[in-house]
Chain A
Amino acid sequence: MREEPEKAVKKRRFMITDIILIMFVLAIILPVAVMLVWTVTERWAWPDLWPQVFSLRALDGIFQRSEVLTKLFASSIIISSAVALLSVAIGTMTARALVLYEFPGKGLVYFLTVLPFMVPATVFAMGVQITFIKLGLNNTVAGVVIAHLICSLPYGVRLLMDGTAAVGARLEEQARVLGASAGQAFFRVTLPILIPVILSAFCMSYIVSFSQYFLTLLIGGGQVKTFTIVMVPYLQSGDRNIACAYSVIFLCITLAVFAIFEKIADRWSRNTDTAFYT
């Protein structure tokens, strides 16, 4: 007798949890679904809940000017991939210094490393533009890469610090005892174990770079065209089909880039037992 109401309460609580989670998932997916519908919509007038006329005009329009798309595609992906690769490389070095070594000024270096987390890119961009102009980096791809790198590096360092701390120095020391050089010990022992963390750091840095609008606008001066720079005018003019089509294309490309790098990372660490990573 006493068990039944308790069970009912438990069941109801599960129901509420489920409803909340389902609503959360729907809230995430709905805008994405609407965007997908808009890419193939010709006319979707008030007040219908479903478009009246479908067409591939927006996608056709984009693919017909394939020269523009290829250029945009190349510059966007090259910039973000370069930023992500540099962020991972520098992040690994910084993480090693901060985790495995003791040295004076360590606290300060760590603070300065994570500071760009906390100071918005807009403020940094307006302050640093004059320096970039003086160095001839303004309006150049290299300038945009450096600026993006400064903003994405903290993410890379944070993730890689956790990874480096988890791997620790013991395995490398053992390799050294067995006669490996410092370089061998790092590249053959630690690096393969770090691959999963490196992959997350790569993706995170790529996303941070890929999402930058203001920084790209200011440092790139409108000369360096990335996805966000091309998108915003369409948003302002209210050309939703084109804006949606561009977004879909570029989100797919981002996912493809991640998949490719996951493959590469997989192949790289295939022969290593990653169970050490605990």
Chain B
Amino acid sequence: MQRKLTPYILLVPQIVLTIFFLIGLITGITQSLGVIPAFGLREPTLFYYKEILTKPDMVNSVLYSLRIALFSALFSTAAGVLLCALLVNGCRTKGKMMRIVQLPIIVPHVVVALFAINICSQNGLLARLAYAFGLIGEQQQFPALIYDAGGFGIILAYLWKEIPFIIYFVIALMANIDGKLGEAAVNLGAGKVQTFLRVTLPLCASTISSGFLIIFVFALGAYELPFILGATTPKALPVQAYIQYTHPDLRNRPYAMALNGLIIVISLVCAGLYFILMTRSQKKLAGKK
């Protein structure tokens, strides 16, 4: 009897915190459906969702954020996996190299925004280098990488932070597989590249995909970088949501929540995928043993 209760007792603090989290989610979802009794709004409606998906400035926010999230996640995953493969191949999975890889992980996004301003702005190091090499004649000729409508600076900043994250996330598994199964494949006559593409990569696929999902959802919902580095228009989803949230007219609150609701829907889909991927990879790796 006691043993049956043990896991639940161990889970008490976790469950209390989870309840807090769920209250936040559920409040957000009900408010996005226009139900805020305190403001006299009682009837559930999909009106606010329709609005955010038709009003031009809101649609632009949605597309802008989706683009930033997709490009950041795609490029950092691709580059991260490639670099990871090079590191594993060169047996540099420990020591100094890993210390350097870990550096961006401990740097907060706010500081990464500072880096982007120092390096990529029209007064930054890249612009100065372009001038020094005679590529541009004056400051204004340097393309606006930050505060730009394309979100290029934001994506660059995410890449600086997330490529090392992917390496950190994947390298232990990749090194392990490469060491054991990779060697077997090479012994059986496969080339290095062939081994990587047909043995190592497929076995790391679920971990890599979950890394991709984590970055995608993070870049979709994070506030700091688009707030500091973003253009005046279009505004990123979370920035737009916060503007509506703090709008003096409290009836704008449901717009904020509908924008958040959109993020929740996308993140829940990703969370489902992540969960499936993790369970599958755990099974696969367990089966391997």
Say whether A associates with B: yes
**A95 closest partner in B (C-beta):** B10
Q: Flag the segment in B44-52, B54-62, B214-222 that touches A.
A: B214-222
Question: Is B17 positioned at the interface, with any CB of A under 8 Å from its CB?
Answer: yes
Question: Is A202 positioned at the interface, with any CB of B under 8 Å from its CB?
Answer: no
Say whether, besides A103-B7, A118-B217, A118-B271, A113 and B18 are in contact (CB < 8 Å).
yes
Question: Is B63 positioned at the interface, with any CB of A under 8 Å from its CB?
Answer: no
Question: Is B41 positioned at the interface, with any CB of A under 8 Å from its CB?
Answer: no
Which B residues lie within 8 Å of A109 (CB)? Answer: 11, 14-15
**Do A124 and B24 touch (CB < 8 A)?**
yes
Please report the total number of A residues contacting B with Cβ < 8 Å.
74
**Do B108 and A227 touch (CB < 8 A)?**
yes
Q: Flag the segment in B70-78, B83-91, B179-187, B194-202 that touches A.
A: B83-91
Question: Is B263 positioned at the interface, with any CB of A under 8 Å from its CB?
Answer: yes
**Do B238 and A214 touch (CB < 8 A)?**
yes
**A30 closest partner in B (C-beta):** B119
**Do A126 and B256 touch (CB < 8 A)?**
yes
**Do A123 and B118 touch (CB < 8 A)?**
no
Question: Is A223 positioned at the interface, with any CB of B under 8 Å from its CB?
Answer: no
**Do A254 and B106 touch (CB < 8 A)?**
yes
**Do B108 and A235 touch (CB < 8 A)?**
no
Question: Is A5 positioned at the interface, with any CB of B under 8 Å from its CB?
Answer: no
Chain A residues touching B, majority SS: helix
Which A residues lie within 8 Å of B131 (CB)? Answer: 46-47
**Do A153 and B125 touch (CB < 8 A)?**
no
**B270 closest partner in A (C-beta):** A118
**Do B7 and A153 touch (CB < 8 A)?**
no
**Do B115 and A34 touch (CB < 8 A)?**
yes
Tell me, in angstroms, the Cα distance from A121 to B163 when the chains sit together.
21
Say whether, besides A207-B106, A210-B108, A119 and B128 are in contact (CB < 8 Å).
no
List which A105-144 residues lie within 8 A (CB) of chain B: 106, 109-128, 130-131
**Do A21 and B24 touch (CB < 8 A)?**
no
Say whether, besides A49-B128, A150-B20, A123 and B115 are in contact (CB < 8 Å).
no
**A213 closest partner in B (C-beta):** B224
Which B residues lie within 8 Å of A49 (CB)? Answer: 125, 128-129, 132
Say whether, besides A24-B83, A111-B275, A126-B242, A153 and B14 are in contact (CB < 8 Å).
yes
Say whether, besides A34-B118, A119-B264, A101 and B128 are in contact (CB < 8 Å).
no
**Do A122 and B110 touch (CB < 8 A)?**
no
Question: Is B228 positioned at the interface, with any CB of A under 8 Å from its CB?
Answer: yes
Say whether, besides A34-B125, A247-B114, A127 and B260 are in contact (CB < 8 Å).
yes
Tell me, in angstroms, the Cα distance from A126 to B245 when the chains sit together.
8
Which B residues lie within 8 Å of A240 (CB)? Answer: 114, 117-118
**B262 closest partner in A (C-beta):** A123
**Do B218 and A35 touch (CB < 8 A)?**
no
Question: Is A32 positioned at the interface, with any CB of B under 8 Å from its CB?
Answer: yes
Say whether, besides A118-B214, A214-B223, A254-B106, A38 and B118 are in contact (CB < 8 Å).
yes
**Do A120 and B267 touch (CB < 8 A)?**
yes
Say whether, besides A49-B132, A118-B214, A126-B257, A131 and B23 are in contact (CB < 8 Å).
yes
Question: Is A27 positioned at the interface, with any CB of B under 8 Å from its CB?
Answer: yes
Say whether, besides A117-B214, A240-B117, A244-B114, A124 and B25 are in contact (CB < 8 Å).
yes
Which A residues lie within 8 Å of B213 (CB)? Answer: 118
Which B residues lie within 8 Å of A103 (CB)? Answer: 4, 7-8
Question: Is B248 positioned at the interface, with any CB of A under 8 Å from its CB?
Answer: no
Question: Is B241 positioned at the interface, with any CB of A under 8 Å from its CB?
Answer: yes
Tell me, in angstroms, the Cα distance from A30 to B271 when the chains sit together.
35
Which B residues lie within 8 Å of A47 (CB)? Answer: 127-128, 131-132, 139
Say whether, besides A49-B132, A235-B228, A213 and B110 are in contact (CB < 8 Å).
yes
By Cβ-Cβ distance, the 4 closest A-B pairs, closest first, are: A120-B221, A128-B24, A127-B28, A31-B115
What are 23 residue pairs bridging A and B, where the CB atoms are less than 8 Å apart in the complex? A31-B119, A34-B115, A47-B131, A93-B10, A93-B13, A109-B14, A111-B275, A112-B18, A117-B274, A122-B221, A122-B242, A123-B238, A123-B260, A124-B25, A126-B28, A127-B24, A127-B27, A128-B23, A228-B108, A231-B111, A232-B110, A235-B228, A247-B111
